[in-house]
Structure 1
Amino acid sequence: MTIPKRLPARQAIAEAGFELLSRNPGASLSEIAEHAGVGRATLHRHFASREDLLIALAHQAIAEMDHAAEVACHGAPSHTDALKRCMEALVPLGDRHSFLAHIPLDDDPAITAAFERQAGETRDLVDAARQEGTFAATVPTAWIVQAFDHLLYAGWESVRSGETTPAQAAALAWRTLTHGLGTTRDADGNDL
């Protein structure tokens, strides 16, 4: 039997922070330390304040999501396939996505700029997929982006609760996105 190795303290704190703060943005440092299996003194050796922890988590979440999306989309044959691959890559990072969406870090210009850049990249990819015929022209881009974001979170919740694997959750999220917002045509080829 292999004994699982314990995560280094900083990594354990980060994982606990993502897990707790994505569900409860008001989670205390004591709760995070306890969930990480470290004392408050250890947490404070790594993060001097709650604000320091939140900023570090935001930068980590942005970097992880950027990397996952970049790797997933590399070499995609179409914008639609790139968007689907992003869904597949980002569902397992749903706690990071939720953290960024729910923790107010508007005072940090670097985080705000990175978050806005990610949102712009998603909008651009959705628009390009629409041009390929994936989404109905009558559905606003903002609606599709919101649906994409919420389906990422729903997929992650499904995985977290043990209902699905990451691959199953991503497939269900993609199916919901494209069947719910995709093009539907009548016998004459007109969008319905």
Structure 2
Amino acid sequence: MGEMAARPLRADAERSVRAVLEAAERVLAEDPGASMEQIAVAAGVARTTIHRRFANRQSLIEALALSAARQLAQAVDDGRPDTAPPLVAMHRITANVLQVKGAWAFALGLPADPDSEAAVLQQDIDRRCVAVLQRAQAEKVIDSAADLEWVRRVYYALIGESLRGNADGSDPDGADPDAAAARIIDTLLHGAGPRA
């Protein structure tokens, strides 16, 4: 009986933590100096709730960064980087990453402590990205002489520019993750040179 009663409470606690993290992303994106109280109000939870879950503002920010990094890692996983054909994986991952990065821009822009779980997740994402690029190179989609670490950096820059263009409204394709992903992959593989 006691365990049955605890289960909804746990789900409720998880929901309130999720609400706090989503509110923290919104509030801190507008005002990086916002207080925990302002975040609690935006989340629709009591001040005591936010203080019970997060010891201080720094622990809330660390939890926000980790949650966003986990969602980014999941976005990569959902693109099936190890099993889908490389071009399919690259497209799916790019569309997924654009959605997560668009929703969690503040959290993903936070500097990560090199020893943090968020930093470890980012290193794993980088490694998996290069692995997909290696598969694409093996299938002759990417030139055999290409420096894949450079290709990864250019790819990340294209994602960043796509998000920046979407944020200021100057990118008409930016609102559609699939259209933006197609353009990013096309630019990555073919640049701006004439098409055959």
Superposition TM-score, scaled by structure 1 size = 0.68
The yes-or-no answer on 1:10 pairing with 2:17 is yes
SS in 1 for 2:79: helix
> Residues 159 and 169 of structure 1 are in contact (CA less than 8 Å); yes or no, is this contact kept in structure 2?
no
Matches within 5 A, 1:139-150: 140-150=147-157
User: Could you tell me which residue of structure 1 aligns to residue 66 of structure 2?
Assistant: 59
Letter in 1 for 2:135: A
Letter in 1 for 2:166: S
User: Could you tell me which residue of structure 2 aligns to residue 173 of structure 1?
Assistant: 181
- Superposition RMSD in Å: 3.8
The yes-or-no answer on 1:71 pairing with 2:82 is no
Question: CA offsets per residue over residues 43-92 of structure 1, 9 Å max, x none?
Answer: 21221112211222233223222223223317854112111111122222
User: Could you tell me which residue of structure 1 aligns to residue 91 of structure 2?
Assistant: 84
Question: CA offsets per residue over residues 2-54 of structure 1, 9 Å max, x none?
Answer: xxxxx932111111223344566554434433332334333212211122112
SS in 2 for 1:48: coil
Superposition TM-score, scaled by structure 2 size = 0.67
Letter in 2 for 1:17: A
> Residues 136 and 183 of structure 1 are in contact (CA less than 8 Å); yes or no, is this contact kept in structure 2?
no
User: Could you tell me which residue of structure 1 aligns to residue 6 of structure 2?
Assistant: none
Q: How many positions carry a matched residue from both structures?
A: 179
Relative contact order (alpha carbons < 8 A, sep ≥ 6): 1 or 2 greater? 1
Question: C-alpha distance in 2, partners of 1:86/1:92?
Answer: 10
The yes-or-no answer on 1:102 pairing with 2:79 is no
User: Could you tell me which residue of structure 1 aligns to residue 135 of structure 2?
Assistant: 128
Question: CA offsets per residue over residues 163-187 of structure 1, 9 Å max, x none?
Answer: 6686x23322331x23323147999
The yes-or-no answer on 1:42 pairing with 2:49 is yes
Structure 2, unpaired ranges of 5+? 1-13
